[in-house]
Chains A and B, each alone.
Chain A
Amino acid sequence: MELEYRYDGSTDGLLCAMADAIKRKERPKIMAGPGEAGLLFADRIHQVQTDEARADEVITYFQKKASKEAARNLLYCLAGPFCSMELELLAYYRMGLKWGRGVDRHHADPVVHAVHQAARNVGREIHRFKGLLRFRKMQDGLYWAPFEPDHDIISALAPHFRARLSDQHWMMHDMRRHRAVVWDGKRLYAELEPEKLLKNNPVAEEEEAMQQLWKTFFSSVTIEGRKNSKLQARCMPLRYWRWLPELV
């Protein structure tokens, strides 16, 4: 039987779709988001209901049955372009339930390999931005960090900066997805209207001098005789440069 699952294209939707497949013991031929082509001759189409709370449970359950790493791999894949690997994620989920924490040992398995690969790409970007995120101090004391990541990594990245810059008031701001996370010294929360915090709030007076010192440092440590711009661009792709004071 040719079975087609339709979900709303969101990560929560996909998690619910996976839960449906497990619960109904079904093996869909395709799991498609809106606008994606379905099967030519589907025997049945199942419409998935998206439910945020249920999606959270799917992750918690997986973490309990498989492992923390496996749950993190799944979440990282969901932060990336997952719309062509739904079936692999479902297969990985099944394997995790079946094999428990051993699932990630199957390095030679094509599904596990694909999931690891995708998770690694997202993990790499998260690690990159631990270094590349730049905060600038605004007049009211807020440290504002605009950035444009390829993947939706803001929530995975925020705890790192909470641990690191815990005594300052800051906002991370994904300019591509218009999402922001704020740390106010006590709480970490999603800010739905980041523009409000920036209104009538230009950069602080000392900000320019600090950026200038950083630029001076940066150009002084370059060894002229060893210029290698290709290598620089490979380590730090050009699309990230826009928000780096040392490179604009």
Chain B
Amino acid sequence: MGIEDKMAVLADAAKYDASCSSSGSNRKGATGATLPSGCCHSWTPDGRCVSLLKILLSNVCIYDCAYCINRCGNDVPRATFTVEEVVNLTVEFYRRNYIEGLFLSSGVFVSPDHTMEQLMRVARTLREEKRFGGYIHLKAIPGASMELIDRAGRYADRVSVNIELPSSVSLAKLAPQKKKDDIIRPMAYIGEHWKQAKAERKKNRKAPRFAPAGHSTQMIVGATPESDKHILDLSQNLYDSYSLKRVYFSAYIPINTNESRLPVLPMPPLLREHRLYQADWLLRMYKFKAHELLSESEPNLDPQLDPKAGWALRNFQHFPIEINTADYEWLLRVPGVGVLSAKRILSARRNSNLDFSHLKRIGVVLKRAQYFITCNGKFSAGIRLSSTSVRRALLLKDKPSAKAEQLQLF
């Protein structure tokens, strides 16, 4: 098979994998350097940002996960790149500024250790022979030895293990060959080493790096019965216990339609995925806790309202807050006020008393925020509305279906 055909097969096989962030690393080599803020190089006709050369090393797989297009039971064209082919493609694409770097994953061929070793070799050749300084994200293969994962982490900016499904029960059912422990162990290992290496490098700039951009994980939502609450609690847990940088959700896309263990969905639950990302954002950037967003009695996110507005309406008695005096923590909780505008409010109000026209310039989304704030004791509309009318007003302004499509999946 020629390289052109391999590319078609192995790029196609990798495209459903969600994460594509290339941010968080600051590295320099002879060819290439990574940008701490990440960078899009192109956008596909479905509107997703392309930043990394995202391919599988091979789509040959000895496992049989129910949700996966590459499982061994499927009759699909198979291909495997050589290490040199991937190295060359990465360097040549990078020199032409097509990409920020490489995101390499793989089906499990021969054995987990064999696969992991090949992935590691790609990263090592790029760094040691080609002096490549661009971004490298490797997927750790469940079941591979810690020693290989350790070596991979020395060359890659990010090494991540997919948690795949939100519970071990679901995992046992749909991916019987993957043991929960095979996933959690490397995750714990990477988290631990990442923290250590970071601390070492603080003391000594020459200390070896270990996956400096940290690690992330991904799970499929909608293929199994777990609630949003379960998923968010799990994410919170992962952030807290394993120092994960990101948890990615990917809406289940029914690929293997003849599979009785999977639900029949009319379309992938994109809106749900979108709401989970919004909630996850609140956990990471806005200091919300999972239990504030969802409870046993309301275990799923409201599809009609974004979770921040939902929280604010449930806690309507705490509003309005006064923009000229409120704490940073409270500014952050106002729908329509982002991290940036909250910070700007703090610095701008040191210079002058703020009114609504100032807020507009600062970047506050007034059509959402207006119901929850006052400037010098006054509402922008003059009166306080009830929470029911605010809800109605917000629903009119929130068009979730359009937003769900903007997801940056790639």
Contacts and interface: CB of A to CB of B under 8 A. Distances in A.
A120 to B, nearest CB: 10
Among A108, A136, A137, A235: residue with most chain B CB under 10 A: A108
Contacts of A164: 31-33, 97, 133
A22 interface: no
B30 A166 contact: yes
Interface in A121-160: 127, 130-137, 143, 145
B42 A163 contact: no
In this complex, which of A105, A132, A133, A221 has the most chain B Cβ atoms within 10 angstroms of its Cβ?
A221
Interface residues of B, number: 56
A131 B3 contact: no
A220 to B, nearest CB: 4
Contacts of A166: 30-31
Contact of B354 (A108, A127, A137, A235): A108
Interface stretch (A4-12, A79-87, A210-218): A210-218
A130 B38 CA distance: 10
Interface string B27-51: 0101111010001111111111111
A235 B50 CA distance: 11
Interface string A219-232: 01111101111111
Contacts of A226: 46-47, 405
Contacts of B49: 235
Contact of A106 (B12, B50, B348): B348
Interface in B255-299: none
B399 interface: no
A143 to B, nearest CB: 7
A210 B93 CA distance: 8
A236 B41 CA distance: 10
Given A107-B361, A113-B361, A136-B96, A232 B11 contact: no
Given A132-B42, A216-B7, A220-B11, A167 B30 contact: yes
Given A134-B98, A229-B45, A212 B4 contact: yes
B40 A235 contact: yes
B239 to A, nearest CB: 28
B11 A216 contact: yes
B53 interface: yes
Interface string B1-25: 0011001100110111000000000
Nearest to A113: B361
Given A163-B33, A213-B4, A221 B96 contact: no
B7 A220 contact: yes
A232 B46 contact: yes
A170 to B, nearest CB: 9
A20 interface: no
A231 B47 contact: yes
Contacts of B43: 231-232, 235-236
A134 B410 CA distance: 20
B42 A108 contact: no
Contact of B406 (A135, A220, A221, A231): A231
B170 to A, nearest CB: 24
A39 to B, nearest CB: 29
Given A106-B351, A135-B95, A210-B92, A221 B44 contact: yes
A34 interface: no
B361 A110 contact: yes
A202 B351 CA distance: 59
A224 to B, nearest CB: 8
Contact of B347 (A107, A168, A210, A236): A107
B218 to A, nearest CB: 16
Given A213-B4, A216-B8, A222-B44, 7 more contacts: A107-B347, A107-B348, A108-B352, A214-B93, A220-B15, A232-B45, A246-B98
Interface of A: 105-110, 113, 127, 130-137, 143, 145, 161, 163-168, 210, 212-214, 216-218, 220-224, 226-232, 235-236, 244, 246-247
Interface of B: 3-4, 7-8, 11-12, 14-16, 28, 30-33, 35, 39-51, 53-55, 89, 92-93, 95-98, 100, 131, 133, 344, 347-348, 350-352, 354, 358-359, 361-363, 405-406, 410
